[in-house]
């Protein structure tokens, strides 16, 4: 009897250990609703749409052609399906190529898994990646029997799109933990849309009535939380791409309030991108996937490829090169959503100088940027401990050049090399400060230097002034008739370099004070023009500043 109890205790302990190791993201807080709702701020999210986008574009054709040439593979029960399979199916049907082959292929496959994160008690989890991806096949080719044969469509509905029926859920199966945002949106958008399709096609069973089976109510509530509290997996590498695709599915195929909410979230995150990117260069802090190091590429994220595709529909003469993220770009290429006018304007051509702070909520970090037509200064953020899953980045200056890697940019971070210890939120209007040196890209030559400062030309009448020592790095954007006058204005206003550790008088008139040893949950800037600023950035509005 005693031996049996010991075995039971050991089994329970082992089970708990397995849970700890198989649910790291969940235990790190990958769920949704935390903290307080964020204020909207003083900058409205653009919604006006008057741009006449073209129906087709070169980049759209390139993406569809790429996927129409892909390979498909058989699905093995319990194993994750290669994410290329649904994209190849979509590419072939969109291009009208390999139609017979693709129909035969679909008829030979069936669901191999379940919704939600994969773990010990849900060993076949993760099928929502595929249910979400195959959903557009049903809607885009529902009335095209020459592409999606009737028997194939029936098989798709019965054996491939298997996330259906009542019971919206935001939890990982068999746990009380909320699943990660992208999993919930993929699974529940697939469930909602299949139920909707069945209802529209004559299936009146109560399980498929979204208005009364809890699915519509649950999905609306979840989308409202995202719009109120912010996208939890903001800028996520790679999960934002799957969140994006789910929202685009809802925008394209859902109706009523669900469609409207999905559109509002898309508008919000695209506005964030427009303000904190420059010529598709985008290097913001992000939440999930937590890594020991961040990518060094500044043009490869999934958010950029979406805007590249939409820009191609607006102007086919733009030089757009999508080398990564084609599986995400396909959704922008094939579905009808288009950003608001102002989003495209600010993505492609900053109309004027601006400074914006964008809050991301509790236990998070903000995005802070200052820019104009010829540059963008983008803050790197700060990690809030491993549970926050925040990947902070260096503060980067983007210029009108061909830079694609971090080393090709002016950037600063510190102290040290470990991003876990950084607080790279020290950005204000045309100014940044860090507790570390400024990295100057190879080949960039100062047009003027002094003992303390180096002056670089950004564009006509706009200069970058760099001060760089081990314990303090400053990047200052100065407008002046010449480099010499830019340097003179800085030196006259800031004669004592010992004070650079805590304060700077900007030639634009701002007197900026800062604490380079600020706690990681606090804005580095302490006051502007002798007025204390709100440093608690986990309560900052979605959009606040001057544009």
Q: Are residues 277 and 409 in the same domain?
A: no
pTM of the complete model: 0.94
Asked if residue 444 and residue 427 are part of one domain, the reply reads yes
The pLDDT tens digits for 465-504 are 999 999 999 999 999 999 999 999 999 999 999 999 999 9
Q: What is the C-alpha to C-alpha distance for residues 186 and 188, in angstroms, rounded to an integer? A: 6
One domain, residues 128 and 224: yes
Q: Is residue 384 part of a domain?
A: yes
Stretches where the chain sits below pLDDT 70 are: 1-34
Q: What are the CA-CA distances from residue 86 to residues 19, 100, 251, 310 (Å)? A: 31, 16, 20, 22
- For residues 324 and 372, membership in a common domain is answered with no
Q: What is the pLDDT of residue 196?
A: 98
512 within a domain of the structure (yes/no)? yes
- Sorted by sequence, the CB contacts under 8 Å of residue 356 that are 6+ apart come out as 43, 275, 276, 368, 369, 370, 543, 544, 545, 546, 547
Q: Is residue 32 part of a domain?
A: no
Whole-number Å distance between alpha carbons of 464 and 456: 5
Residues 423 and 313 in one domain: no
Say if residue 237 is in the same domain as residue 186: yes
Q: Is 18 part of any domain?
A: no
Co-location of 335 and 359 in the same domain: no
Residue 303 class from Cβ within 10 Å (0-12 exposed, 13-18 middle, 19+ buried)? buried
Asked if 242 and 106 sit in the same domain, the reply is: yes
Angle between the N-to-C axes of helices 128-140 and 240-253, in degrees from 0 to 180, rounded to the nearest 10: 30
**Is 200 domain-assigned?**
yes
Residue 37 lies in a domain: no
Describe the chain by its helix, strand, coil percentages, rounded to 5.
40, 15, 45
- 286 and 335 together in one domain: yes
| 27 inside domain | no
pLDDT at 33: 56
**Domain boundary, last residue among 343, 376, 400:** 343
Q: Give the span between the Cα atoms of 288 and 106, in whole angstroms.
A: 33
SS3 of residue 545 by DSSP: strand
Question: Contact at 8 Å (CB) between 265 and 227?
Answer: yes
Among candidates 442, 489, 495, 446, which has minimal Cα distance to 466? Answer: 446
pLDDT of residue 99: 98
Same domain, 530 and 403: yes
Q: Do 311 and 183 belong together in one domain?
A: yes
- Which of these three, 318, 343, 368, is where a domain ends? 343
SS3 354: strand
What's the order of all strands across the beta sheet hosting 431-434?
427-428, 431-434, 472-479, 462-469, 453-459, 448-449
Would you give the distance in Å from CA 279 to the centre of its chain? 17
Q: Cα angle vertex 396, ends 390, 397, to 5°? A: 155
Domain count, the chain: 2
Q: Are 32 and 180 in contact (CB under 8 A)?
A: no
The span from the CA of 433 to the CA of 345, in Å, is 29
Q: Which residues pair with 511 in a beta bridge?
A: 505
The pLDDT of residue 12? 41
Question: In terms of residue numbers, what domain contains 363?
Answer: 350-546
Residues 330-359: b if buried by 16+ CB within 10 A, e if exposed = bbbbbbebbbbebbbebbeebeebbbbbbb
By CB neighbour count within 10 A (0-12 exposed, 13-18 middle, 19+ buried), where does 49 fall?
middle
Task: Report long-range pairs for 476-484 (Cβ below 8 Å, ≥24 apart).
Answer: 476/430, 476/431, 476/432, 476/504, 476/506, 476/507, 477/370, 477/372, 477/375, 477/377, 477/430, 477/431, 478/430, 478/507, 478/508, 479/507, 479/508, 480/507, 483/447, 483/448, 483/455, 483/457, 484/448
Q: How many CB atoms lie within 10 A of CB 123?
A: 12
pLDDT score for 19: 45
pLDDT digits (tens, 9 = 90+) for 258-276: 999 999 999 999 999 999 9
In a domain, 75, yes or no: yes
Same structural domain, 258 and 370: no
End position of a domain, from candidates 324, 343, 362: 343
């Amino acid at each position: 009897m005693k031996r049996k109890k010991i075995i039971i205790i050991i089994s329970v302990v082992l089970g708990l250990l397995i849970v700890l190791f198989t649910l790291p993201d969940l235990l790190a807080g990958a769920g949704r609703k935390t903290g307080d709702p964020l204020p909207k701020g003083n900058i409205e999210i653009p919604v006006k749409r008057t741009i006449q986008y073209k129906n087709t574009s070169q980049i759209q054709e390139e993406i569809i052609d790429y996927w129409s040439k892909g390979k498909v593979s058989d699905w093995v029960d319990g194993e994750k399906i290669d994410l290329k399979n649904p994209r190849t199916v979509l590419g072939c049907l969109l291009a009208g190529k390999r139609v017979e082959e693709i129909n035969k292929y679909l008829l030979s496959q069936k669901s191999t898994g379940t919704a939600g994160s994969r773990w010990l008690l849900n060993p076949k989890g993760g099928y929502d990646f595929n249910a979400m991806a195959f959903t557009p096949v049903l809607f885009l080719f529902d009335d095209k029997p020459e592409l999606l044969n009737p028997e194939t469509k029936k098989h798709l509905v019965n054996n491939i799109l298997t996330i259906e029926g009542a019971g919206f859920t935001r939890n990982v199966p068999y746990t009380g933990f909320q699943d990660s945002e992208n999993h919930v949106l993929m699974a529940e958008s697939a469930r909602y849309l299949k139920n909707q399709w069945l209802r529209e096609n004559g299936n009146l069973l109560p399980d498929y009535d979204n208005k009364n089976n809890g699915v519509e109510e649950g999905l609306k509530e979840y989308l409202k939380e995202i719009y109120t509290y912010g996208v939890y997996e903001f800028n996520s590498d790679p999960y934002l791409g799957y969140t994006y695709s789910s929202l685009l599915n809802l925008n394209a195929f859902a109706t009523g309030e669900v469609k409207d909410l999905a559109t509002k979230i898309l508008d919000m995150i695209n506005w964030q991108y427009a303000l904190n990117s420059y010529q598709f260069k985008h290097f913001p802090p992000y939440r999930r996937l937590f890594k020991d190091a961040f990518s060094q590429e500044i043009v490869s994220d999934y958010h950029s490829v979406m805007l590249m595709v939409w820009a191609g529909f607006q102007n086919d003469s733009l030089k757009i090169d999508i080398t990564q993220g084609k599986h995400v770009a396909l959704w922008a290429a094939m579905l009808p959503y288009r950003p608001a006018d102002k989003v495209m304007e600010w993505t492609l051509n900053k109309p004027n100088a601006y400074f914006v702070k964008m809050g991301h909520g509790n236990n998070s970090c903000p995005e802070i940027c200052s820019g104009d037509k010829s540059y963008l200064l983008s803050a790197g953020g700060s990690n809030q401990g491993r549970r926050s899953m925040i990947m902070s980045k260096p503060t980067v200056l983007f210029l009108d050049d061909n830079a694609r890697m971090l080393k090709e940019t002016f950037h600063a971070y510190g102290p040290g090399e470990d991003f876990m210890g950084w607080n790279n939120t020290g950005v204000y209007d045309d100014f940044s400060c860090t507790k570390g040196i400024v990295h100057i890209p190879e080949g960039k030559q100062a047009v003027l230097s002094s003992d303390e400062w180096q002056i670089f030309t950004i564009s006509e009448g706009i200069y970058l002034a760099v001060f760089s020592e081990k314990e303090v790095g400053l990047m200052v954007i100065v407008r002046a008739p010449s480099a010499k006058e830019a340097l003179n204005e800085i030196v006259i206003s800031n004669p004592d370099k010992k004070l650079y550790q805590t304060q700077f008088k900007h030639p634009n008139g701002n007197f900026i004070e800062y604490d380079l040893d600020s706690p990681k949950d606090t804005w580095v800037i302490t006051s502007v023009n002798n007025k204390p600023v709100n440093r608690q950035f986990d309560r900052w509005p979605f959009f606040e500043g001057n544009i």
